[in-house]
Amino acid sequence: QKEVEQNSGPLSVPEGAIASLNCTYSDRVSQSFFWYRQYSGKSPELIMSIYSNGDKEDGRFTAQLNKASQYVSLLIRDSQPSDSATYLCAARDSNYQLIWGAGTKLIIKP
């Protein structure tokens, strides 16, 4: 059974701090990984994709991939109240489908 696991949270972070979201995946063949943000009552919105080991930065967001440990993370610097949402991690499997985690609820406290 291919799985993507995330801590459901909620993860509470003070405004201006770094929020760290983590995800592990079971399919060693996976090569593409995605982070989506989902506000309550809205659909998922792609915020980061990562394909190679290491870090990928985009504005306040940094995705980190460690294929040896089967671990993906998302760092949000200078967290804002507008970052409060559920963050979904997904891994593309060998059948070209996305395996989704259940999401981590992030709360940024002003």
Binding-site ranges for another protein (CB under 8 A): 4, 8, 31-32, 34, 42-46, 49, 51, 88, 90, 92, 95-98, 100-103
Closest to another protein by CB, 4 or 13: 4
| Residue 98 CB, nearest approach to another protein (Å) | 7
Closest to another protein by CB, 43 or 82: 43
Question: Of 64, 73, 86, 72, nearest to 27 (Cα)?
Answer: 72
56 exposure class (CB count in 10 Å sphere: 0-12, 13-18, 19+): middle
